[in-house]
Amino acid sequence: MGLRILGWGSALPEKVVTNHDLEKTLDTSDEWIRERSGIGERRIGESTAELAIAAGRAALERSGVEPASVDLMVLATTTPDQQVPASSAHVHYELGLGGGACDLNAACSGFVYALVMANGLLESGANRVLVVGAETLSRITDWSDRNTAVLFGDGGGALVLEREAGEGQLLGWDLGVDASAREILECDIGGFIRMDGREVFKRAVRVLVDSAKRTLAQAKVRPEDVKLLVPHQANIRIIQAACDRLGIPEERTALVLHRTGNTSSASIPLALVDAIEAGRLEDGDLVLMTGFGAGMTWGSALLRWQSPPSASGASA
Ligand code: ACO
C-alpha cells in the first residue's frame, strides 16, 4: 500500500507587503533584500486556521473527496492560533471532516514530516488523509528587527491523499533533527523569532543536500532524473547552493519565495501547488521535496507524479 495524490490547494492572505513598504519602517532596502534572499514581497494576514481551511477546501474540491470520508487531517504549523485546542480542530470542524485531527510542529520541515506520516497511516489502513501546511509567521515576527522581518510571510498549502494498492507515489524519504543546533533559530511562547542567520544558512545547505542525497539513494534515483526540486523557500542563495551541490539545474526548481517570503510549513506545498497549476508536471515525473527548519529539523520526500483522474490543471 502507498499514497496517491488526489487533490491540491493553496491560500495566501490578500494583503501584500513589498520590500519598498518595509523600507519605510526599517533600515533596509529592496536591493539588499532581493540580493541576499531573493524575496520581493510577502503576504500578511488571516489566522493559521483560516489559511488552512482555504487551502484544505480547495484541495478537497479538486479531489472530489467527500470531507466526511477523511480519516485524518494533519496540520503542519509552527504558529497555531491558540496553545489549546490545536488549530487542526478548528479546520476539522469548518471543513466537515471525518476521523481525527492533530497539529504537527517540525518547523519548516513540517509539511514533509506530515506527508511521510500520512503515508505510514495509509499503509496501515487509513483510506484518506488531508495534509496541510499553514502559517502566520507575521504574528511571531518582530517587525522592528531587520534581520528577520524581511524574510517571513503567511500562507497555506494542502494535499488530499488516498491509499493506493502497490508502491504508491512516495518512493523514498528522509527525516532528521540535529538538536545540538536548536539555539540558532528560536521563538519563545508569546515571543518573536530570533535567528543566527549565517549559521542557519551554512547548516541549511549541508542538511538539504545530505537529506536529498539519502532520499535519492534510497529510491535508487540519480539527481539528473529529478524533474522538479521543491525546496523549502527560505533564501534563493540556499536553494542555488543546494542545486549546485546536487547537480540539479535551478530551472528545475519550484520557486515562489520572491512573492511569498519564507512561510515555513506552508512553503513546500505552496511551491508544489504552484508548479502543478502551471502544468510543469507530467505523469511519471520525479519530484523531490526537501526542507530544513528550526530544531534543526530536515525532511525530504521523493514522489512520482501521477495526475488524478478527475483533476483539472495537471498535465495528462
Ligand atoms: N537590510 C539591510 N542590511 C541588513 C539586513 C536588512 N534587512 N539584515 C541584516 N543586514 C546587515 C547585517 O547587519 C550585516 O551588517 P554588518 O556586516 O555591518 O554586520 C550585513 O547586512 C550582512 O549580514 P549577514 O547576516 O552576513 O547577511 P547574509 O548574507 O548572511 O544574509 C540572511 C542574511 C538573509 C538572514 C541569510 O543569512 C539567511 O537567509 N540565512 C538563513 C535564514 C533562514 O533560512 N531562516 C529560516 C529558517 S526556517 C524556519 O524555521 C523559519
8 and 106 housed in the same domain: yes
Q: What local confidence, expressed as pLDDT, does residue 310 receive?
A: 63
Query: Using an 8 Å Cβ cutoff, are 257 and 19 in contact?
Result: no
Decide if 251 is inside a domain.
yes
pLDDT under 70: residue ranges of the chain: 310-316
Q: What local confidence, expressed as pLDDT, does residue 267 receive?
A: 98
Decide if 311 is inside a domain.
no
Of the residues 117, 139, 167, the one at which a domain ends: 167
Count of C-beta atoms within a 10 Å radius of residue 142: 14
Which residues does a 6 A CB cutoff place in the pocket of ligand 1?
A: 28, 32-33, 36-37, 107-108, 146-147, 150, 185, 195, 197-198, 200-201, 204, 234-235, 262, 264, 293-294
Q: What local confidence, expressed as pLDDT, does residue 234 receive?
A: 97
145 and 95 housed in the same domain: yes
Whichever domain contains 204, its CATH number is 3.40.47.10
Decide if 275 is inside a domain.
yes
183 and 108 housed in the same domain: no
107 and 206 housed in the same domain: no
Q: What is the pTM of this model?
A: 0.96
Active site residue 262: yes
Interatomic CA distance for residues 292 and 264, integer angstroms: 9
Q: What local confidence, expressed as pLDDT, does residue 309 receive?
A: 80
Q: Count up the domains in the chain and report the number.
A: 2
Ligand 1 centroid from CA 188, angstroms: 21
Of the residues 134, 167, 200, the one at which a domain ends: 167
Residue nearest to atom 7 of ligand 1 (CA): 146
Interatomic CA distance for residues 81 and 104, integer angstroms: 13
Of the residues 147, 167, 187, the one at which a domain ends: 167
114 and 235 housed in the same domain: no
174 and 163 housed in the same domain: no
The chain-wide mean pLDDT, for the chain, equals 96
Q: What local confidence, expressed as pLDDT, does residue 218 receive?
A: 97
12 and 133 housed in the same domain: yes
Decide if 122 is inside a domain.
yes
Q: Are strands 226-231 and 286-293 parallel, antiparallel or unpaired?
A: parallel
Ligand 1 atom closest to Cα of residue 149: 7
- State which amino acid sits at residue 18: T
Decide if 87 is inside a domain.
yes
Question: Which range marks the domain in which residue 177 is found?
Answer: 170-304
* C-alpha cell, 252: 528545475
| CA count, 13 A, side-chain hemisphere, 76 | 31
3-state secondary structure 178-201: CHHHHHHEECCCCCCCEECHHHHH
- What pLDDT digit, counting tens, does each position of 122-132 carry? 999 999 999 99
Q: What local confidence, expressed as pLDDT, does residue 250 receive?
A: 96
109 and 196 housed in the same domain: no
Ligand 1 centroid from CA 23, angstroms: 16
147 and 45 housed in the same domain: yes
162 and 174 housed in the same domain: no
Decide if 309 is inside a domain.
no
238 and 149 housed in the same domain: no
216 and 243 housed in the same domain: yes
Decide if 266 is inside a domain.
yes
Active site residue 108: yes
Q: What local confidence, expressed as pLDDT, does residue 107 receive?
A: 97
Q: What local confidence, expressed as pLDDT, does residue 312 receive?
A: 46
